[in-house]
Each structure stands twice: as C-alpha cells, then as structure tokens.
Chain A
C-alpha cells in the first residue's frame, strides 16, 4: 500500500469528503450529549430550535455570528499571506477599548458622527496593536505567533485594570469589571426596527464584499496570496515584504477591532472584558474551517454563531453544558483540517514486488 499525492481532486469528491466530516461531527455531538447524560434526540432538537427555530432565534444567531465572522475575515487576510497572527483576540479588546474612549471624547457631537469616530478610533486601536506585532517581526524577526499571544495578555490585563479602575462604572465594586452603560443615542440602531438586529451586521456584509473583492481582484490581494504561496519570488520581483506585512496587519487588526466595536456598541452597550473574550480565537477557528475564503468563513461563522446560540437554549431545556459547543468546534476543526489534507492524497493498493 502506498500513499500517493494527487494533483487534482474532483469537486464531487471534495463535497463528499466535507459532507462526511459534517456527518462525523454530528455523530460526535450526539456522542458528547450522551456522555453528558442528556437525551440525545431532545437535546439536538433543542439545539436546532434554539439556533434557528424562530425568527427571533435566527436573528440572535446572526448577531452572535457577526463578531466571529469579522475576526474570521481578519484571520483570512493574515493567514492567506502566511502571517500566523493569533492577535485577533487582543485586537478585539483594543478595538472595543479605543472605541469606548472615543465615545467619551466625542460626547456632545451629533450621535452619527460620534459613532463614526468611535468605529474609526476602534480600528486605529486594533490596527496599532497588530502593527506592533508586525514591527516586532520586521525589526527583530520575532515570531508573530509569540508576540501576538503575549500582546493578547498585555491587552487583556490592561483592559482589566481600566475597567476595574479608571473606567469603572460609578457605584460598582472592582468585582464588576465593566464600564457604565453608553448613552443610548450611541447604541447601534436596529436595522428596520427589528429588535436586536443591530447595524453592525451591515458592517459584516460590507466587510464580506470588500474582502472578496480585495482577495480576488485587487493588487493588494494578489500580493497577499503571492506572499503566502511564495514570498521569495514575490520579494525578488520588487515587493517589499516588510511594507506588505505592515499593511496586512494594520488591516487585519482594524477588522478584528470592528468586532470589538459592534459587540460593545451593538450588544453589550458597555465595555466589559468577559463579553469580548474568545471572539478573536473563535475567528481563527471559523476562518480555518472556512478554508480562509471569505464565503467559507461567512458560512462557518454563521454555523457556529447558531450553535452557540442554540446551545444556550439546549442548556436550559436539557441541561447539556454550553461548553459542548467549544468541544464540538475543536472536533469540527480537526475533521475539516484532516479532510483538507486527505483530499490531496489517494491510497494506492499494489502487490509487493
């Protein structure tokens, strides 16, 4: 038996492989629920109805998915260039924090202008943090994986200090790590007046179109893809990799920061650490499952947004812990990665000579 690399995989096989992975994931979910001691059928149906069982549930799922998709897009940009940042997490926090600070500075301006400046400030905050990692890479050849992980901690603890000190809501004790509520006119308005469907979702749609166009049509996207596939050839053809890394990270950090902004201004309406935690890491998983494509990331983000939302309902109905979703996410990621690699090989059975 030999394992041989194949040059092309027929699309139908590709679909079949991913379908098999999806079925296996579902099986894993059922097994996990059974291990948790809950009725499998009831739990799965609670999961589904909590996710998409009603218009309100579907909207909640969509809103839940929005920040995952944004951090997923941020991941796509960097990973397509072969820049393995894990800093989305910190950039979400930095974006949220910078936007919050801007809301204080711009109080008194017309709300629309104030919101616009808050987004901008958030993007600058996230971009600056990502730019720092890029600079460390360019100047000191520091691994972006190490620097971004470390910076995530720095930002996390800096934010903890801010919201349990200088920015703490008056009347709270340090055990509530949160700011006071934003003035209501800075809350992101609902789209068409639909409850809870905030305008941030539109930003996701804009980001989707933008990212799709950049990656497939723009000179920058060409350079991003070329850097990921053969950075040597690209740099020998006159493209400065340092500048490109800077650009990529500024953009990626800014996109992650928007996730922090919409969660803060559209969902929580105040800056808290807890509600922003995990959004960045979620984006990495979502982007990888989406094979680093804009549409794939969108779909994976929607799927996991729905799962997270449904899991809350399932928890209430049948008592399955919501941590099931994170476990499941890990399983899906592994299965999809395995399928992605396995699709490039075929097994050849031959008689021994």
Chain B
C-alpha cells in the first residue's frame, strides 16, 4: 500500500432543504485498499457515494484525486478522473449483448465501433480477474451475479482506479457474494481501490478499513483488524443516552386489534420476503419494528394493509377476518398506512393538497357519495387539516409536489390518521424530516395511541423506536427474530439482532458471521 491516498475527501457536506444528509464527512482511500462505508439506511452512505461519483454536488467540502482538487459536474467527469461505480440496481440494456453494453457510450470513433479491439481488451481483463462471461450473450440471459460482473467489467474497461460498489450483495445469493469478494480481492491485487457501501456486518469485516456513518456524520474510521461486530453495531446505532421510554403508565391490556398468523410473502423471483411472521397488537399499543431496510418490514406492512396478498397466513383486524380481501376492505375496517415512500405510494404529486387529502375517500358519503365530488366539503376538510397540522403552503390548491418533504408528510399524516380508526401502520414516518416535523409525528402517534388505536411503527432509528414503542420486534431476513421490552432491552441487543448477528448465534440463519 503506497503512502499517498488516491482519493481524499474533506468536509463533504450535502443538504436537502433543511435535512443534512452528509455533515462534513472526511475519508481517504489508498490504492489496493478495500474501504467499507458502513451505516444504517439513511445514514448518508448513498449521498456520500453519489458525491464521490459526481451524481450529486457537495454543498461544501473538498475532493482530491491523487492530490489534485476536482469538482465533478457529472459521473462522466468522475469516470474521466478514474472513479467507477456499480449501482445496486444495474443500469444495463437487457436486450443488448454483454459486449454492446460495455462499449456503449465509450470512445466510438464517430460512427464505427471497434468491437474487435474491445473484445480483445475485455478478454484480457476477464482472464486476469478470472471472470468468465460470454461477451455475445444478451444481458437478459445472464444471472444477477453475472450481470454484476458485466457492470464491473464496464467500469474496468473504462480504466477506473477507484471502484464504488453500492450494496453489491443485496441482490446476490451467498455463493455469488463469495465470488464477488474473490473478485474484489483480484482487483485489489491489481492496485484498484475498492469502496463498498453496505450495512451487512459479514462484509464489513473483510474490509481493510471501515468508515462508519451515522445520521450523516462520520462517527469513526477503524481498521478491519480492530473491528468487532459488537463495536460496529454500537457505532452504527449510536450510544445516545437511552431516551426516556414512553412516559405513559402501562395500561391494562385492551382488546386485540390486529392478529396475524404465519404470514409469508414471496417476491416476483420467488425470493422469500416475509417468512412465517405472527404478531398481535392490542388497542392503545405501539408495536415498534426494528430492522435494517429490506428485511421484510415493507411487505409485512403491505400485507397488513391489504395491499399485498399474503402467500400464506391469516390476518384478523378488530375481530374480522380479512382473508383474500384488498385494500378497500382493510380501509373499511379502519386501517390506515403511512407508506415508506410518500411520493411514490402516498401522494399524487400533481394533485392539490385538498385532493390528496381525500385520496381513497373520493366516493365516501361525506364528499358526495360517488357521483360528483362536493368541492365545498373537500375544501373544508383541507382547511381543517392545514390548520390542525400546520401545513405550510400558499393554499389548499397547491400541488403537493411543490411542498417540502415535511409538509408533504403532514398531508399523508392528516389523511391516514383520520383513516386509521383502529390500526395505523407507519413505515419510516419521520425519514428525511427535520426535527420540528419529527416531534409533530411523534406527538400525533402518541395521541393516536392514547385514543385507543393500535399502531405498528417500522423505523430504523432506534432512538425513535425506544421513545415510542411499547414493544419492539426485530426483523431480520423476513422473520421476527425477537420481541423485546424497550424498558429492559439494550440498544446493543437490538442493534445486534438487526445486523443478523445474534440471529446467527441462535442458529436461525446460516449466516457466517465469525467474531
């Protein structure tokens, strides 16, 4: 390892409105090194790698490549400077062959592509790294792992010296992951610097150095030799003094609102999303669900809202079995959901605030009963909601796409709190919001609980979960691995369960997580 870093970032800062996604993050990387960016979802890993790759411009800070300051305006600049990136979702043209995908957009001589020269160079790179992939195969016929190789080949073909891999194993089988790490080893021996972005402990421990991000800040960089799963989890979830658990005195257990038994869901590719989950929540109770994103929380909530049909299992809401029913029936039963992605799933961006507030209620009796919508009632409802939730907007007719994230979330909140008469499902309700709105969301959730509703709160932020939940369930790999009492459980225990650490120890999952 040479003494001079090939890339050095100092004080990189990126804000989105009031939200600071990266707060003065510094890091450096040396040739032949494997650096890991580790942290929870929302910790700022993606923003940081996007800045390194020229997809986002930092608001402040300095980036140097081989000692020279650079300011990327686009990924094209980053590639010229020798930085490549493989995204979690591949950007390949499926109908084209491997070769065509790789040479697309690279140094064509005006009209003609020199495919033979490209083929020779790729064969050379492939042989050197032990990648065997048929260059003439259309990409759609490749396995996911092979597609990733194509992405890597694409970067290497461009002659990059620093390769960023964003969540590279998220879509891979364990065998493919092992192959990938073999490949990374080969690349490092060629002097390439590799940055992987991940939240999986197992991968982190293979890195030379680990930079841990939490809430947009670099909370420390340690060498792989010094790292232990315990230490990393602690850094990842933070050591803030445990917030006071919900102040309310424990109530007598109320009636059961939601009962789910043996729920299972599979994805399009047959992969297991939710694996035999049973849960029960009573009135006036908040069940927090901790877990790293992608461990089944979203499909679980979708099943509980009737949006996704379970492949197996039964859901009873307020004593009523809703087997085989769709979202309309769940809404009828009094279920509301605050979706994870408010713009993609919760709102119609080009609709006004007033119209978004009645989404799903457009045929309800109070708005006209199905034929014409009574605009006066819609406006009344909107004015009330804007006042009650202090939605900052010029008028009720403002399109929600023009609102800030916090105000858009208030629109969802207003609608779904009114909808959720018995059960509220909230997926990351405070993600990306500033402190004022976070406090409002918390207050509203507490009030809803006090009013007797059951609440299931999915959240990656342990502070929030500990502050709000009556019980905390931890999800990992589609299962609820444990349900804990926030008063007695430690954050480290929860963090370890989230990272799959303790789950491995209890032999639930064959994850090799040596410590």
* Residue from A219, A234, A235 within 8 A of B371 (CB atoms): A219
Q: Which residues of A contact B81 (CB under 8 A)?
A: none
Q: Which of A210-231 contact B (CB under 8 A)?
A: 213, 217-219, 222-223, 225-226, 229-230
Kindly provide the distance from the CB of B162 to the nearest chain A CB, expressed in whole angstroms: 22
Judge if A239 is at the interface, Cβ distance under 8 Å.
yes
Kindly provide the distance from the CB of A160 to the nearest chain B CB, expressed in whole angstroms: 36
Kindly provide the distance from the CB of B415 to the nearest chain A CB, expressed in whole angstroms: 9
**Contact indicator per residue, chain A 225-247, by CB within 8 Å of chain B (1) or not (0):** 11001101111111110000000
**Once bound together, how far apart are the Cα atoms of A353 and B73, in whole Å?**
10
* Residue from B350, B359, B367 within 8 A of A237 (CB atoms): B359
Contact, CB under 8 Å: A219 / B350:
no
Contact, CB under 8 Å: B350 / A218:
no
Total interface residues on B, using CB and 8 Å? 32
**Once bound together, how far apart are the Cα atoms of A237 and B326, in whole Å?**
10
* Residue from A7, A213, A234 within 8 A of B359 (CB atoms): A234
* Residue from B326, B344, B360 within 8 A of A240 (CB atoms): B326
Contact, CB under 8 Å: A229 / B350:
yes
Kindly provide the distance from the CB of A216 to the nearest chain B CB, expressed in whole angstroms: 10
Given A217-B373, A229-B348, are A236 and B307 also a contact pair (CB < 8 Å)?
A: yes
Judge if B370 is at the interface, Cβ distance under 8 Å.
yes
Given A217-B373, A222-B362, are A233 and B348 also a contact pair (CB < 8 Å)?
A: yes
Q: Which residues of A contact B349 (CB under 8 A)?
A: 229-230
Contact, CB under 8 Å: B344 / A233:
yes
Kindly provide the distance from the CB of B274 to the nearest chain A CB, expressed in whole angstroms: 18
Q: Which residues of B contact A230 (CB under 8 A)?
A: 344, 347-349
**Once bound together, how far apart are the Cα atoms of A219 and B349, in whole Å?**
18
Q: Which residues of A contact B371 (CB under 8 A)?
A: 218-219
Kindly provide the distance from the CB of A31 to the nearest chain B CB, expressed in whole angstroms: 30
**Once bound together, how far apart are the Cα atoms of A218 and B367, in whole Å?**
11
Judge if B345 is at the interface, Cβ distance under 8 Å.
yes
Contact, CB under 8 Å: A218 / B345:
no
Judge if B389 is at the interface, Cβ distance under 8 Å.
no
Residue from A7, A218, A238 with most neighbouring chain B CB atoms (10 Å): A238
Q: Which residues of B contact A237 (CB under 8 A)?
A: 327, 331, 359-360
Q: Which residues of A contact B351 (CB under 8 A)?
A: 225-226, 229
Judge if B111 is at the interface, Cβ distance under 8 Å.
no
Contact, CB under 8 Å: A219 / B345:
no
Judge if B339 is at the interface, Cβ distance under 8 Å.
yes
Contact, CB under 8 Å: B71 / A233:
no
Contact, CB under 8 Å: B328 / A238:
yes
Q: Which residues of B contact A236 (CB under 8 A)?
A: 305, 307, 327, 337, 339, 345-346
Q: Which of B328-366 contact A (CB under 8 A)?
A: 328, 330-331, 337, 339, 344-351, 355, 359-360, 362-363
Contact, CB under 8 Å: A226 / B359:
yes
Residue from A7, A222, A229, A233 with most neighbouring chain B CB atoms (10 Å): A233
- A222 (CB) vs chain B CBs: closest residue: B362
Given A233-B347, A237-B331, are A219 and B363 also a contact pair (CB < 8 Å)?
A: yes
Judge if B368 is at the interface, Cβ distance under 8 Å.
yes
Q: Which residues of B contact A353 (CB under 8 A)?
A: 71, 73
- A218 (CB) vs chain B CBs: closest residue: B372
* Residue from A222, A234, A235, A238 within 8 A of B373 (CB atoms): A222
Q: Which residues of B contact A233 (CB under 8 A)?
A: 344-348, 359
Contact, CB under 8 Å: B327 / A238:
yes
Kindly provide the distance from the CB of A343 to the nearest chain B CB, expressed in whole angstroms: 15
**Once bound together, how far apart are the Cα atoms of A238 and B344, in whole Å?**
16
Judge if B402 is at the interface, Cβ distance under 8 Å.
yes
**Once bound together, how far apart are the Cα atoms of A230 and B401, in whole Å?**
12
- A236 (CB) vs chain B CBs: closest residue: B307
**Once bound together, how far apart are the Cα atoms of A251 and B140, in whole Å?**
39
Q: Which residues of B contact A217 (CB under 8 A)?
A: 372-373, 375
- B307 (CB) vs chain A CBs: closest residue: A236
**Once bound together, how far apart are the Cα atoms of A236 and B416, in whole Å?**
12
B residues sitting closer than 8 Å to A (CB atoms) are 71, 73, 305, 307, 326-328, 330-331, 337, 339, 344-351, 355, 359-360, 362-363, 367-368, 370-373, 375, 402
Known: A222-B362, A223-B362, A229-B349. 11 other contacts (CB 8 A): A219-B370, A222-B355, A226-B348, A229-B348, A230-B348, A232-B344, A233-B344, A233-B346, A233-B347, A235-B327, A239-B328
A residues sitting closer than 8 Å to B (CB atoms) are 7, 213, 217-219, 222-223, 225-226, 229-230, 232-240, 353
9 contacts between A and B (CB under 8 A): A219-B362, A219-B367, A226-B351, A233-B346, A233-B359, A236-B305, A236-B307, A236-B327, A237-B331
**Which 8 A-B pairs give the minimum distances between C-beta atoms?**
A237-B360, A238-B328, A230-B348, A238-B327, A219-B362, A222-B362, A238-B331, A219-B363
